[in-house]
Amino acid sequence: MTEPVPAATHARTILAAHEHRRQIPPPTGWDPGLDLAAAYRVAAEVRRLRVARGERTVGRKIGFTNTTLWAAYGIHEPIWGHVYDTTLRDRAALTGPVALTAFVEPRIEPEIVFGLGRVPEPGMDAAALVGCLDWAAHGFEIVQSLFPGWRFTAPDTVAAFGLHGLLVVGERVRIVPAAARAWIDGLAGFSVDLLRDGTVADRGSGRNVLGGGPLAALGHLVDVLANDPGSLPLAAGEVVSTGTLTDALPVAPGQRWTTRLSGLPLAGLDLALA
């Protein structure tokens, strides 16, 4: 009988690969015991090591919420990972292009990002979830794969930061109670164009996110965390990125990516890469 690989062993391997910007074989290829539950234990150890070296968790990213992409990636449910103070940037604070040298096989995703004013509870409907939000924003996530060719299973992605690299957040728009209904409707039905150097590279919509929009992704995360005593619950003040609205597209230095949103009171975003 094969002995289980300790979570700490996987965590050290993954962090070393990230720090040296090198790809590694997916750990599920050599550790048959790495299922989703074990992968989240690895992710918890990764978080512990990152915090021990001075990083601070500031939120969560939800991955694979775009159901139109599940077949392409062989993934059939969302995942989640941590966002750190070292991986969160406000777009307004960027003074130049984002350097891609920090990432391994990076791609870009347009997303909706929430700021929690209070802690959501399991089973909340859309109106109750909106009531927990302090603000909403449009953002770009730079995702990355430590595994060559973006070939992996769900446990591999969970163990490796949820594929998270960097979250760039646009203008944060306050959500007031009087506008709650408009936000609920808008988040379920808005559309987005993703442009590379001025040309539309992909289109998406709120409905791509678990069929109901970014609020559905937030509700899913709340329920998942409530059923996993080994994971930290959400806290007021956390940032939650709700998953890509389009495909995750490869990026290269010198490109400029922009978005156009329709149906939400959020401006489009632009991001230069180097």
> Is residue 6 one of the residues assigned to a domain?
no
Chain segment 142-155, per-residue pLDDT in tens: 999 999 999 999 99
Cβ(235)–Cβ(161) under 8 Å? no
Q: What is the average pLDDT across 197-216?
A: 96
Query: Does 254 have pLDDT greater than 70?
Result: yes
Domain span at residue 71?
Answer: 57-272
Query: Total domain count for the chain?
Result: 1
> Is residue 16 one of the residues assigned to a domain?
no
> Is residue 20 one of the residues assigned to a domain?
no
Q: What is the average pLDDT across 88-92?
A: 97
> Is residue 184 one of the residues assigned to a domain?
yes
Query: Does 201 have pLDDT greater than 70?
Result: yes
> Is residue 85 one of the residues assigned to a domain?
yes
Provide the CA 163 distance to its chain's centre, in angstroms: 8
> Is residue 265 one of the residues assigned to a domain?
yes
Q: What is the average pLDDT across 263-273?
A: 97
Measured between alpha carbons, how far is 239 from 136 in angstroms, rounded to an integer? Answer: 10
Question: Mean pLDDT for the chain?
Answer: 95
pLDDT at 3: 67
Measured between alpha carbons, how far is 24 from 167 in angstroms, rounded to an integer? Answer: 23
> Is residue 103 one of the residues assigned to a domain?
yes
* Exposure on the CB side of residue 31, measured as CA atoms within 13 A: 23
pTM: 0.96
pLDDT at 75: 86
Q: What is the average pLDDT across 222-243?
A: 94
41-47-51-57 Cα dihedral, nearest 10 degrees: -130
| Lowest-pLDDT choice from 4-8, 36-40, 143-147, 157-161 | 4-8
Query: Does 64 have pLDDT greater than 80?
Result: yes
Measured between alpha carbons, how far is 175 from 11 in angstroms, rounded to an integer? Answer: 38
Rounded percentage of the chain residues whose pLDDT exceeds 70: 99
- CATH number, domain with residue 242: 3.90.850.10
Alpha helices by DSSP H, the chain: 7-19, 36-52, 70-73, 126-131, 154-159, 180-189, 214-226
Q: What is the average pLDDT across 182-205?
A: 97
Query: Does 195 have pLDDT greater than 80?
Result: yes
Pick from 163, 160, 167, 166: nearest CA to 45: 160
> Is residue 261 one of the residues assigned to a domain?
yes
Query: Does 2 have pLDDT greater than 70?
Result: no
pLDDT at 137: 98
Cβ(155)–Cβ(162) under 8 Å? no
For the chain, what is the total number of helices (H) and then of strands (E)?
7, 13
Q: What is the DSSP string of 2-29?
A: PPPPPHHHHHHHHHHHHHTT-----GGG
